[in-house]
């Protein structure tokens, strides 16, 4: 079933049927589509049923309950306070990795500073999905302990965790400390995912000139990713202009959002004309 047909099918289902489908389907995408549909229904009945599932003896049911309350009614923050209170209660006794992952992600969606301290003990959890959810749960938090945790996670053995933690430090907060900058320096040559690009954006946002040499090296090597263009645009240093112009001259892709980011970088690095 393609996405459009799946969505049309889900729109015909009752809330109870959506809960049942999310629990029983073997198609992960369909399960999440059902959960997303429950988020938009956002009635007291849906919230009450999800809360009931959060207290189930079955880990899959608890995970589903948490996944539903995580974003129900957002972005209007419907049920914000009871949801946060319940999540903070659940994390105190939960030991299932699949449920802990859901709780961490849910706390991130709810963006409440009270999540910081309860999440910190899971920074070194053996399951990478749990550590990933800790990074997500701490996004946007400027508490020094949250920042220290993200710095540690930016060096995690798991590629996705390093990427997400570095993104959180680079773009989700404006805090600027030597420790944050050194965390970015440590990731400038990271081999996985977008982590190096995120580190460059983080340094560029803090106007740290140490980003220029590795940024130019990657651009000259033909690594024309949007994060590198974003870093160049944020830095706005004319020394980057020749290589950016060269990339534009030889651009073979579509003139899409990535190309537009390149043009923004060129404009930002172009010195103002002398009057």
- For residues 57 and 45, give the distance between their C-alpha atoms in angstroms, rounded to a whole number: 21
- Residues whose CB falls within 8 Å of the CB of residue 87, separated by 6 or more in sequence, listed in order: 66, 69, 103, 106, 107, 110, 115
pLDDT tens digits along 223-266 = 768 999 999 999 999 999 999 999 999 888 788 899 999 999 99
CA neighbor of 174 nearest in space, from 149, 140, 198: 140
Is the CB of residue 140 less than 8 Å from the CB of residue 111?
yes
* Residue 236 phi, psi (nearest 5): 65, 35
Question: Sorting pLDDT into bands at 50, 70 and 90, what band is 11?
Answer: confident
**Structure tokens given for 9:** 């099918």
- Label residue 3 by pLDDT band (50, 70, 90): low
Angstrom distance (rounded) from CA 192 to CA 252: 25
* Cα distances (Å, whole numbers) of residue 32 to 23, 53, 91, 216: 10, 16, 22, 40
pLDDT average, residue stretch 122-138: 98
pLDDT of amino acid 132: 98
Task: Summarize the confidence of residues 96-118 as an average pLDDT.
Answer: 97
Task: Please report where in the chains the tokens 């990795």 appear, as a residue.
Answer: 97
Q: What percentage of the chain has pLDDT greater than the value 70?
A: 97
pLDDT, tens digit, 9 for 90 and up, residues 133-189: 999 999 999 999 999 999 999 999 999 999 999 999 999 999 999 999 999 999 999
225 torsion bin: left (phi>0), alpha (psi -120 to 50), beta (else): beta
Quick check: 274 pLDDT over 60? no
Percent of the residues in the chain that have a pLDDT greater than 90, as a whole number: 86
Contact 81, 89 (CB under 8 A): no
Distance of CA 227 to the CA centre of its chain: 15
Dihedral sign of CA atoms 202, 204, 208, 213 in order: positive
- Distances in Å between the alpha carbon of 67 and those of 87, 189, 240? 11, 35, 44
Quote the pLDDT of residue 2: 59
Distance, in Å, from the CA atom of 240 to the CA atom of 219, rounded to the nearest integer, reads: 9
249 Cβ neighbours under 8 A, 6+ residues apart:
none
């Amino acid at each position: 079933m393609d996405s459009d047909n799946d969505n049309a099918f889900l729109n015909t289902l009752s809330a109870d049927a959506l809960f049942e489908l999310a629990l029983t389907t073997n198609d992960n995408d369909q399960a999440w589509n059902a959960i997303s549909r429950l988020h938009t229904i956002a009635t007291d009945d849906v919230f009450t049923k999800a809360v009931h599932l959060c207290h189930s003896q079955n880990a899959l049911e608890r995970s589903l309950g948490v996944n539903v309350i995580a974003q129900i009614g957002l972005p209007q923050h419907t049920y914000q306070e009871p949801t946060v209170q319940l999540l903070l209660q659940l994390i105190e006794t939960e030991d299932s990795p699949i449920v802990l992952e859901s709780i961490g992600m849910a706390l991130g969606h709810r963006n409440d500073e009270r999540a910081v301290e309860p999440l910190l003990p899971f920074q070194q959890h053996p399951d990478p999905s749990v550590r990933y959810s800790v990074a997500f749960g701490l996004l946007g938090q400027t508490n020094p302990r949250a920042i220290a945790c993200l710095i540690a996670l930016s060096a995690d053995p798991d590629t996705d965790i390093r990427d997400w933690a570095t993104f959180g430090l680079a773009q989700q907060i404006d805090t600027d400390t030597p420790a944050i900058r050194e965390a970015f320096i440590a990731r400038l040559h990271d081999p996985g995912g977008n982590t190096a690009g995120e580190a460059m954006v983080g340094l560029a946002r803090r106007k740290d000139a140490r980003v220029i040499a590795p940024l130019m090296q990657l651009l000259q090597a033909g690594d024309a990713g949007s994060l590198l263009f974003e870093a160049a645009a944020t830095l706005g240093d004319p020394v980057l202009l020749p290589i950016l112009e060269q990339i534009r001259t030889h651009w073979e892709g579509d003139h899409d959002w990535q190309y537009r980011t390149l043009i923004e970088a060129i404009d930002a690095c172009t010195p103002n004309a002398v009057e």
